[in-house]
Structure 1
Amino acid sequence: MSRETSLFSGRPSELIGQQIAGYRIEQEIGRGGMAVVYRARDLRLERTVALKLLAPELARNDTFRRRFTHESRAAAAIDHPHIVPIFEAGETDGVLYIAMRFVAGSDLRHLLDREGPLPSATALRVAAQVASALDAAHEHGLVHRDVKPGNILVSRGTDSDHPEHVYLTDFGLTKKSLSLTGFTTVGQFVGTLDYVAPEQISGRPVDARCDVYGFACVVYEVLAGHPPFRRDDDMALLWAHQYDDPPPLTESRPDVAPQADPVFAKALAKSPDDRYPSCLDFVAALRAATKGGGPAPGRGATRVTRQPPERRPKPPPRWAEPVFVERE
């Protein structure tokens, strides 16, 4: 019982310095309602890994354990440069765990909170890498269902032409797994409601186009500084995803070409049949729409020059700066 308390209580974890399944835990680097992630040392191969420990109540559910094993293996089988490699997944002493590559850098959530909206060129580079990862997963029959900035990791790239390298993570704990266990309350079955597709809300079957919707919400936020729908409570937000049209991106980013607005309208269509068939198709359409940048002739060209300083495009973020700090 003390182990369960230390895993998910607000107090400093008692696991720091301890070993779990051949990994020595060094530092907590993230947590959510269903899992805690640590930086850990693989004592067998002498390498640093990210070790995700799932909530103890999930390990006690036989349906979830089976689904977790199946989906972790499916995710581990995907060899893609923009998907965080999974080294191992298993159970030890009643604790489910996933060992993954440790990515030095930050997640997109922290970067957006720190930097605000990103320049269009940076946003498109990031989006293209995430899109290729999602499409690769879809080709393997895996739907992510929880695409959000916190599941997108950004590290330093190889050169000035590729200043950032982006990874998509969290395939081993999909929302379908949780729905089979009863962990489906609002805030759990979809994580953050800002990126949930209408068919997920209504309980209809989902496929890759569900990720197209969630991914488009993320890209919208990367450019606008906020997700497409903002409401005062969860029920109003769920309603907006199902029935309201997204506001034009150019209302928040007048420096982006207005041709981007119909691209987002299509990617965020309420019916999956009306969306782009793949994430890369969406990015290609967005790149074509924003090529050249700036407002269309006769459409508020002077607004760009009158932008307040905080709305002007910023230089590329400092990707490799870690956002995690030592906990007391």
Structure 2
Amino acid sequence: MGTRIAGYEVQGEIGRGGMAVVYRARDLRLDRTVALKLLAPELARNDTFRRRFSHESRVAAALDHPHIVPIFEAGETDGVLYIAMRYVSGPDLRALLDREGVLPVATALRIAAQVASALDAAHQHDLVHRDVKPGNVLVAQGTDSDHPEHVYLTDFGLTKKSLSLTGFTTAGQFVGTLDYVAPEQISGRAVDGRCDLYSLACVVFEMLTGAPPFVRDEDIALLWAHQHDRPPALSEVRSGLPAGFDDVFAKALAKTAADRYGTCLEFMGALRLAAYGAGPGGPGRPADRTPTVGRHTVRTPAPAPPPPPPPPGWARPVFGGERAGP
């Protein structure tokens, strides 16, 4: 039997960071596998952090989105703060990129669109992720050949914002991963969803080219590059990509947040437009193939949908107040 923590039986380690460890665990109450994140004990001893952790956990748990890992529970036991989340079977994007190097444009855009949708949903609840990176993008098996991947974004900033506000980070430090961190995070300016947009653009850049926009030998040089250096054009790094990508990434990776796209999905729309063009059906969709004769459009009326089947007897009182049969 493994160690038991707050009704969960620990089965094995999934990953770890500076202030947390994530385990695969068994929920003994509901008999299901979960991902159990345990935070460093010193965090629980800070009253301000504990209050913020409780508030941010509730906000994150309220996010109901198909591409956000659901949070089942968050609490404290024996002086340890914990979060129980859905366990996702499948590699993260970091492992996928390490194996594949670069991804086809269609695959990269499918993955990025799902992450963008998750981020915009979080931003609508005033929740900024602050650490968008390949390791926080989980890639599960999709439903069919048209949707070969189902992507989940995990590790929302439940601790990141609190750490910066409770003394666990000092002046000049920030929370985030250097390869993908936005300039405003480095300089300590206020951040909003556009810092996640910058990080997402860095991740998509890596999916398409095999490396993030800025690669430097030393951390200080990397921080400088994010704040001051022009990002390379994709066409300079990998040939054969749509020409319009250069302008899209130049905007998404702008040094000033106000110069970027307003939302992550707006960024994705610009990428799809650059990749696939636009017909009357809209960006990234095939043009309307409706035939024409002379100057007149010939439209074939769509067949009428079949009538819905009648409800079962036990459900009839719900539909139009019908009386249930025997």
Structure-1-length-normalised TM-score: 0.82
Compute the displacement of 1:63 (Å): 1.5
Residue 305 of structure 1 corresponds to which residue in structure 2? none
Distance 1:71 1:224 in 2: 35
Residue 180 of structure 2 corresponds to which residue in structure 1? 195
Give 1:237's aligned amino acid. L
Distance 2:170 2:243 in 1: 38
Distance 1:259 1:205 in 2: 31
The alignment yields a C-alpha RMSD, in angstroms, of: 1.5
Which of residues 15, 21, 29 in structure 2 aligns to 1:36? Answer: 21
Residue 222 of structure 1 corresponds to which residue in structure 2? 207
**Equivalent residue runs for 1:41-52 within 5 Å:** 41-52=26-37
Greater gyration radius:
2
Q: Is the 8 A contact 1:68 1:172 kept in 2?
A: no
Compute the displacement of 1:195 (Å): 0.8
Distance 2:190 2:251 in 1: 20
Q: Is the 8 A contact 1:183 1:189 kept in 2?
A: no
Residue 294 of structure 2 corresponds to which residue in structure 1? none
Which of residues 279, 284, 289 in structure 1 aligns to 2:269? Answer: 284
Compute the displacement of 1:175 (Å): 2.2
Residue 2 of structure 2 corresponds to which residue in structure 1? 17
Compute the displacement of 1:213 (Å): 0.6
Q: Is the 8 A contact 1:103 1:155 kept in 2?
A: yes
Q: Is the 8 A contact 1:224 1:249 kept in 2?
A: yes
Residues 92-142 of structure 1: CA deviation (Å, up to 9, x unaligned):
001110000000001111111111111100000000000000000001111
Residue 142 of structure 1 corresponds to which residue in structure 2? 127
**Equivalent residue runs for 1:133-282 within 5 Å:** 133-184=118-169, 189-282=174-267
- The farther-off stretch of 100-109 and 56-65 is 56-65
1:95 matched to 2:80? The reply is yes
Distance 2:161 2:227 in 1: 20
Residue 68 of structure 2 corresponds to which residue in structure 1? 83
Distance 1:59 1:264 in 2: 40
Distance 1:185 1:29 in 2: 29
Compute the displacement of 1:186 (Å): 9.7
- For the residue of structure 1 that corresponds to 2:112, the secondary structure is helix
Distance 1:183 1:219 in 2: 31
Compute the displacement of 1:188 (Å): 7.2
Q: Is the 8 A contact 1:195 1:213 kept in 2?
A: yes
- For the residue of structure 1 that corresponds to 2:83, the secondary structure is strand
1:127 matched to 2:115? The reply is no
**Equivalent residue runs for 1:304-319 within 5 Å:** none
Higher relative contact order (CA 8 A, sep 6+): 1
Residues 126-169 of structure 1: CA deviation (Å, up to 9, x unaligned):
00000000000001111111111111100000011100000001
Distance 1:110 1:63 in 2: 36
Query: Unaligned regions of 5+ residues in structure 2, if any?
Result: 278-326
Number of residues paired by the alignment? 277
Q: Is the 8 A contact 2:129 2:157 kept in 1?
A: no
Residue 308 of structure 1 corresponds to which residue in structure 2? none
Distance 1:225 1:174 in 2: 30
Query: Unaligned regions of 5+ residues in structure 1, if any?
Result: 1-15, 293-328
Residues 291-321 of structure 1: CA deviation (Å, up to 9, x unaligned):
27xxxxxxxxxxxxxxxxxxxxxxxxxxxxx
Compute the displacement of 1:184 (Å): 2.2
Give 1:32's aligned amino acid. G
Residue 74 of structure 1 corresponds to which residue in structure 2? 59
Distance 1:154 1:186 in 2: 35
Residues 270-295 of structure 1: CA deviation (Å, up to 9, x unaligned):
11110000000001101111227xxx
Identity %: 78
- The farther-off stretch of 135-144 and 57-66 is 57-66
Q: Is the 8 A contact 1:146 1:174 kept in 2?
A: no
Compute the displacement of 1:35 (Å): 0.8
Q: Is the 8 A contact 1:145 1:174 kept in 2?
A: no
Compute the displacement of 1:182 (Å): 2.4
Q: Is the 8 A contact 1:144 1:174 kept in 2?
A: no
